[in-house]
Amino acid sequence: MENQEVAAKLLPKVLILEPPGVFTAFETEFSQKFECLRAWESPIPTDEFLDAHARSVEAMLVSGFTPITSSVLHRVPSLRCIVTTSVGLDHMDLQECRRREIAVANAGNVFSEDVADLAVALLIDVLRRITAADRFVRGEIWPIKGEYPLGSKLGGKRVGIVGLGSIGLDVAKRLEAFGCILSYNSRKKKPSVPFPFYSNACELAANCEVLVICCALTEETHHMINYEVLSALGKEGVVVNIARGGIIDEKELVRCLVQGDIAGAGLDVFENEPEVPRELFGLANVVLSPHRAVFTEESFRDAFELILGNFEAFFSNKPLLSPVMDV
Amino acid sequence: MENQEVAAKLLPKVLILEPPGVFTAFETEFSQKFECLRAWESPIPTDEFLDAHARSVEAMLVSGFTPITSSVLHRVPSLRCIVTTSVGLDHMDLQECRRREIAVANAGNVFSEDVADLAVALLIDVLRRITAADRFVRGEIWPIKGEYPLGSKLGGKRVGIVGLGSIGLDVAKRLEAFGCILSYNSRKKKPSVPFPFYSNACELAANCEVLVICCALTEETHHMINYEVLSALGKEGVVVNIARGGIIDEKELVRCLVQGDIAGAGLDVFENEPEVPRELFGLANVVLSPHRAVFTEESFRDAFELILGNFEAFFSNKPLLSPVMDV
């Protein structure tokens, strides 16, 4: 026991405000390599907990659900490195991190394939009405009604990918195999990509039947998918969002879905999670998923290895494995 | 009116026992080219209806749901051509057709892509728990429970395709893009196919985590996926069936799913449709679809064109476009 305590004191310290999802499987393993300062387990308030470690802890582990604001950062001036288990960074004040010379690493590309898989599945789900069909069967309506409405074929659909990073490219790779006709919008045209580029989402939507939202949520992309874009997509249009809820103007999306201004939506993310607009619950042409695009056992293992690697790199003064922002 | 009647009398006659699914959209168009003898609209019993046309009608249109038994064929000795709107032929007595020198055409490959799309979607659905997640969100459980169980990643899964015809190849093409490791079982090894071949379903299952059933239902394949095969697939195993219910021993499948001997199933077909085993309704690890793998607007249009083409070929003594059995 005493030896363990001594050993623990020698482990590098990592501050953690809330347990990240990967801890469900890997907390023990992580604790063997790092001394975890667990704010959520402490009886004292978080601010006081931060104050107590303010001058000693250099590293912090955060999930995508923990806001890392300038006031949090202000309380822990000794911080030099933050590793987030998420791909998205919209929960973090990156400007303040930069100002304070805090290096930031994210989950890199470990989740890209899982996210792309879910995007494709949500799209086929909406086009072919799969979850609604499952309700039709479980509700024992099949023997009574017999007929179930026709779906729409994925092959040949013009699909616009909004944000062609690692996830967007994985979506494209998959949809090509289904015979979709691809185009994309991103901050700038990518010379190595053969698909047509549209410089804004509205033009892209006007030339597609499907939009798959794969970009980061930033000030520029907030509510980028607004009424104008949804109208341009049109009555046969389907939206899939596996990125962040705030990229779509959710009120307008709900209105378009309810009024039939677009044909359907597959949504893994929402503006005010875990709240989901109640108007969607009655619609058969939407598929609703509780922000689980990255949640597979395999990706969690990969993400955990990457987190370990990032902290090990930081504590041995080596370059981070998946830096978002180096200092 | 009289002119129309005269014109109708000059059109080639096609016997139809029950309206096929494509008639929901294309009955009028079909009626402009052929005189439809609609048994289901006639007040007289079907047998008498058949007798009335027994010596004059040479062509028949059937759906996959209408049994064409030897006794039906016996009543209409003048038949020379049957076009079925289905891909599967298990509803028809092909031996009797051959004996009577009746040419048979089916839907060819027009539905292959739609069926393959559904197979992939059902697989991701089961692995990533999508329809169950939709229930979780619609049931407003997300804000209460927060956590939803982890899914399993599609990439890297060893997927065995049972029956590598047009549909099986389309499934393979899609799953390759997701990073699956493919192998297959079929009557014989296909020289042009790079994936490992297993000569029986049990060996295939023992080397895979997923089985996708894509073969025809025949005497040889009836209950081919039995307890032994499901056991070989194992506790992490997932079965997807978009072919015919009778290929799987459904009682054993249900037992394996209930007892956790396999991990999940995505089922578009069942042994006694539209009846679905009630034990499945309570399971979160199954996705149930009411035999709709081919039901898209686009495929119906393609299927209709092919049906028209087959009858036009028959009535002008040309080779059928998608013959199953020429005479």
Q: Which among B136, B274, B299 has the least Cβ separation from residue A146?
A: B274
| B243 in any annotated domain | yes
Residues B160 and B56 in one domain: no
Question: What number of other Cβ atoms are within 10 A of residue A104's Cβ?
Answer: 24
Structure tokens at B257: 């799913």
Q: Which residues of A are catalytic?
A: 244, 273, 291
Residues B121 and B162 in one domain: yes
CA pair distance B173, A73, nearest whole angstrom:
49
Instruction: Report the distance separating Cα B152 and Cα A278, nearest Å.
Output: 29
- Amino acid symbol at B164: L
Strand ranges of the sheet holding A158-162, from the earlier edge strand across to the other edge: A181-185, A158-162, A210-213, A238-241, A264-267, A286-288
Over chain B, what is the mean pLDDT? 95
pLDDT band at A1 (very low <50, low <70, confident <90, very high): very low
Among A125, A151, A173, whose Cβ lies nearest the Cβ of B292? A151
Interchain proximity A133–B289, CB inside 8 Å = yes
- Put simply, the answer to whether A292 touches B122 (Cβ < 8 Å) is no
- Name the residue range of residue A171's domain: 112-288
- Considering only CB atoms, which chain A residues are within 8 Å of B136? 290
Nearest residue on chain B to A152, judged by CA atoms?
B296
Work out the pLDDT band at B27, boundaries 50, 70, 90: very high
State how far the Cα of A38 lies from the Cα of B233, in Å rounded to an integer: 42
- Residues of B annotated as catalytic are 244, 273, 291
Q: State the pLDDT at residue A3.
A: 55
Cα distance from A127 to chain B (closest Cα, Å)? 9
Burial bucket for residue A139 (CB in 10 Å: 0-12, 13-18, 19+): exposed
Mean pLDDT of B176-184: 98
Residues of A in contact with B300 (CB under 8 A): 150
For testing the chain A interface, which of B292, B297, B304 should be mutated: the one with the most A CBs within 10 Å?
Answer: B292
For chain A, what is the mean pLDDT? 95
Contact flag B118-A124 (C-beta cutoff 8 Å): yes
Q: What is the pLDDT of residue B1?
A: 46
Residue B326 lies in a domain: no
Which of A122, A138, A297, A299 is the best mutation test for B, with the most CBs of B within 10 A? A138
ipTM confidence score: 0.91
The answer to whether residue B327 sits within a structural domain is: no
Q: Are B42 and B49 in contact (CB under 8 A)?
A: yes
Confidence tier at A248 by pLDDT (50, 70, 90): very high
Distance CA B36, CA B15 (A): 6
Q: Is residue B8 part of a domain?
A: yes
Q: What value does the mean pLDDT take over residues A34-60? A: 95
SS3 assignment for chain A: CHHHHHHHHHCCEEEECCCCCCHHHHHHHHHCCCEEEEHHHCCCCHHHHHHHHCCCCCEEEECCCCCECHHHHHHCCCCCEEEECCCCCCCECHHHHHHCCCEEECCCCCCHHHHHHHHHHHHHHHHHCHHHHHHHHHCCCHHHHCCCCCECCCCCCEEEEECCCHHHHHHHHHHHHCCCEEEEECCCCCCCCCCCECCCHHHHHHCCCEEEECCCCCCCCCCCECHHHHHHHCCCCEEEECCCHHHECHHHHHHHHHHCCCCEEEECCCCECCECCHHHHHCCCEEECCCCCCCEHHHHHHHHHHHHHHHHHHHCCCCCCCEEECC
pLDDT tens figures, A144-182 = 998 899 999 999 999 999 999 999 999 999 999 999 999
Which CATH number do you get for residue B29? 3.40.50.720
Q: Is residue B276 part of a domain?
A: yes
Residue type, A117: D
Q: If 0-12 CB within 10 Å is exposed, 13-18 middle and 19+ buried, where does residue A262 land?
A: buried
Asked whether residue A124 falls in the same domain as residue A241, the answer is yes
Please tell me the total count of domains within chain A: 2
Residues A226 and A156 both lie in one domain:
yes
Report the residue of chain A nearest B277, measured CA to CA.
Answer: A138
Q: Does residue B324 sit within a domain?
A: no
How far does the CA of residue A257 sit from the closest CA of chain B (Å)?
16
Q: Tell me what pLDDT residue A10 has.
A: 86
Mark whether B182 and B86 lie in a shared domain.
no
Taking the CA of residue B96 and the nearest CA in chain A, the distance in Å comes to: 30
pLDDT of residue B24: 86
3-state secondary structure chain B: CHHHHHHHHHCCEEEECCCCCCHHHHHHHHHCCCEEEEHHHCCCCHHHHHHHHCCCCCEEEECCCCCECHHHHHHCCCCCEEEECCCCCCCECHHHHHHCCCEEECCCCCCHHHHHHHHHHHHHHHHHCHHHHHHHHHCCCHHHHCCCCCECCCCCCEEEEECCCHHHHHHHHHHHHCCCEEEEECCCCCCCCCCCECCCHHHHHHCCCEEEECCCCCCCCCCCECHHHHHHHCCCCEEEECCCHHHECHHHHHHHHHHCCCCEEEECCCCCCCCCCHHHHHCCCEEECCCCCCCEHHHHHHHHHHHHHHHHHHHCCCCCCCEEECC
Closest CA relative to residue B226, chosen from B261, B194, B196? B261
Q: Are A174 and B178 in contact (CB under 8 A)?
A: yes
List Cβ neighbours of B110 (8 Å cut-off, separation of 6 or more): B299, B302, B303, B306
pLDDT of residue A8: 54
Spatial distance between the Cα atoms of B90 and B221, rounded to a whole number of angstroms: 11
Is residue B325 a part of any domain in this protein?
no
pLDDT of residue A36: 96
Q: Which residue of B has its CA nearest to A116?
A: B178
**CA distance to partner chain B, nearest, from residue A302 (Å):** 11
* Same domain as B150, residue B133: yes
Cβ separation A153–B125 shorter than 8 A: no
Asked if residue B271 and residue B148 are part of one domain, the reply reads: yes
Residue A65's pLDDT band (cuts 50, 70, 90): confident
Q: Do A179 and B113 touch (CB under 8 A)?
A: yes
Nearest to A115 by CA among A181, A186, A166: A166
Residue pair B187/B134 in contact by the 8 Å Cβ criterion: no
Q: Token pair of A143, please?
A: 């023997």
| Rounded CA separation B296/B116 (Å) | 13
Is the Cβ–Cβ distance between B295 and B269 less than 8 Å?
Answer: no
Q: Please answer whether residues B152 and B180 qualify as being in contact, where contact means their C-beta atoms are separated by less than 8 angstroms.
A: no
- Quick: pLDDT tens for A285-302: 999 999 999 999 999 999
Contact residues on chain A for B122, CB-CB shorter than 8 A: 130
Q: What's the pLDDT tens digit per position in A109-138?
A: 999 999 999 999 999 999 999 999 999 999
In this predicted structure, the answer to whether residue A23 has a pLDDT above a threshold of 80 is yes
| Min distance A6 CA to chain B CA atoms (Å) | 35
Considering the domain architecture, whether residues B166 and B210 belong to the same structural domain is answered as yes
How many whole angstroms separate alpha carbon B299 and alpha carbon A297?
37
Mean pLDDT, residues A77-87: 96
Q: What percent of chain B has pLDDT over 90?
A: 93
pLDDT digits (tens, 9 = 90+) for B50-90: 999 999 999 999 999 899 999 999 999 999 999 999 999 99
> Which residues in chain B are closer than 8 Å to A85, comparing Cβ atoms?
none
Give the Cα separation of B12 and B131 in Å (integer). 47
Partner-chain contact A128 B150, CB within 8 Å:
no
Mean pLDDT of B265-271: 98
Do A100 and A119 fall into the same domain? no
Tell me what the mean pLDDT of segment A71-95 comes to.
95
Residues B99-153: tens digit of each pLDDT:
999 999 999 999 999 999 999 999 999 999 999 999 999 999 999 998 899 999 9
Closest to B192 measured CA to CA, from B204, B180, B184, B203:
B184
Pick from A130, A173, A274: CB nearest B289:
A130
What is the separation of C-alpha B20 from the centre of its chain, rounded to a whole number of angstroms? 14
Q: Which residues from A are below 8 Å from B23, CB to CB?
A: none
Q: In whole angstroms, what is the distance from residue B111 CA to residue B292 CA?
A: 11
For Cα atoms B103, B293, B314, give the angle at the middle one, nearest 5 degrees.
Answer: 20
Q: Distance from B63 to chain A by nearest Cα, in Å?
A: 14
Residue A327 near residue A112 (C-beta atoms within 8 A): no
Scan for tokens 């607007």, then name that residue.
Answer: B297
State whether B65 and B118 are in the same domain.
Answer: no
Residues B120 and B104 in one domain: no
Same-domain pairing of A105 and A135:
no
The C-alpha atoms of residue A217 and residue A92 are separated, in whole angstroms, by: 11
Residue type, A98: R
Count of Cβ atoms closer than 10 Å to residue B320 Cβ: 23
Binary contact (A177, B179; C-beta < 8 A): no
Select the residue of A134, A288, A298 nearest B153 (Cβ to Cβ): A298
CB contact (8 A) between residue A281 and residue B146 = no
